[in-house]
Amino acid sequence: MAVAHDEVGTPVDALAHAAAARWRRRVRLGLAVGGVADGLALTALVGVAALLALRLFGVHATPHPAWAVAAVVPALLAVVRVRARDLPLSVCAAHLDRRLGMEGMLVAGTERDASAWRPRLADGLAGARDAAPRVRWGRAAMRALVPWAALGGVLLLPPPYDPVRGPDAAIVRALADVERRLEALAQARGLREETRDALRERVAEVKARAERGEPLSWADVDAAADRLVRDAERRAADLARARAALGAFAREAGASGGGEKARADLAHRLDEAGKAGLLEGLPETLQATVDGARRDGASAGGTKDGASTGTETDHGVGQGGIDPSRLPEDAEAMKALAEAMAATAGERLEGVAAAGAISAEDLAALEALLEGDPLAKAWKETDGEPCTLCHGDRPEGCGG
């Protein structure tokens, strides 16, 4: 007969004692797992709070081997929980007895010798393993993993801004490149005046922030660079269009023999060239000729170095436009004017390409597209009226 003894040495049934002890071990395991899970969660939450607090003071903490000391917390919490909530063997026997419906036989077997009813006790304990409490591994894992996921997210955050370190050097270099391209395009008159002034103001503002040690973002540079490229590409298209139109007029001027029709054609082409800002900033003699052909009320250039003091509208057209009656009547004089203006457009277009606003391949493709004087064709087909079908993005009509 299998006989065991309880804590005080009283003979008890070994089978009943083993069943109650197995129940007790399962309870202890559940308590330990829950304690470890809660300890891990507590460690992670404290870590999240500590890291966020350090970031407020500009400190970026990175994982260190010393952090392994934190593993003591879940282990300690597991031990404390098992000791605080451990059940006596008699209580475990009572729980198992109730679950198996043994009507007190198991409890009695853990208190005294149960040899008289041992067969019935053995039959009742046949399902003891299935009646044991289950450890909720999934729930414990979720309690631990969610806070640790939050801790991982905080650790992946970029370092907080450090005023001593200053702005990102890559952003500062990109800003300097935008400024260099801006000044190159301004020198080549490859931007509209309002765009040039707005970009200069924007670049100066961002540079001032960088000098003060404030943080910069790529958006500060990208917005200026995008606007610079868009306006320069538009100006390049206008210059190429003006160059093609004026060059075609110069080639045909000798055959036209001059006259009012030729003067009106040239005036129209010069007005179109004004959309590229081509009527301003010319050499002194050429500027005087263009200013002399402006309608009454038009702004005139005339600074000593040939730069115009006039302004441009949103499309770059000088106020008042060109009066055909003020242009030269002689065909050769008109040809010379058109050639000079086409040459100036070509120089400015090369300056825009040199500043990196348009590639050599795109420039060649643009000039090939404009070959054959599409402006003259549109002008003739519409009997001297601007075409409203092409270049629909321009409210003034066809620009060639």
Specify whether the CB–CB gap between 351 and 188 falls below 8 A.
yes
Amino acid 376: pLDDT = 44
Mean pLDDT value of segment 302-319: 38
- The gap between the terminal CA atoms of the chain, to the nearest Å, is 114
Interval 149-205: pLDDT, tens: 998 998 888 877 555 456 677 888 888 888 888 888 888 787 888 888 888 888 888
Q: What are phi and psi of 126, to 5 degrees?
A: -60, -35
Measured CA to CA, the distance from residue 118 to residue 346 in angstroms comes to: 113
CB 281 within 8 A of CB 309: no
Q: Which structure tokens are listed for 144?
A: 């631990």
Beta-ladder partners of 11:
5
Is the per-residue pLDDT at 48 higher than 80? yes
Q: What is the pTM of this model?
A: 0.45
pLDDT per position as a tens digit, 70-93:
889 999 999 999 888 888 877 877
Rounded Cα distance between 310 and 116, Å, is 121
Percent of the chain with pLDDT over 70: 70
Please give the pLDDT value at position 366: 63
Give the total residue count for the chain.
400
Q: Which has the higher per-residue pLDDT, 13 or 247?
A: 247
Q: CB count, 10 Å around CB of 311?
A: 12
Sign of torsion, CA 188 192 197 201?
negative
What rounded mean pLDDT belongs to the chain? Answer: 74
Q: Which residues of 240-260 are buried (b: 16+ CB within 10 A; e: fewer)?
A: bbbbbbbbbbbebbeebebee
Of residues 297 and 289, more confidently modeled: 289
Q: Which of 98, 79, 100 is nearest to 36 (CA)?
A: 79
Task: Judge whether residue 9 has pLDDT over 70.
Answer: no
What is the gyration radius of the CA atoms in the chain, in angstroms? 45
357 pLDDT tier (thresholds 50, 70, 90):
low
Our CA dihedral for 158, 160, 164, 165, rounded to 10 degrees, sits at 10
Q: Do residues 316 and 274 lie in contact, with contact meaning Cβ atoms separated by under 8 Å?
A: yes
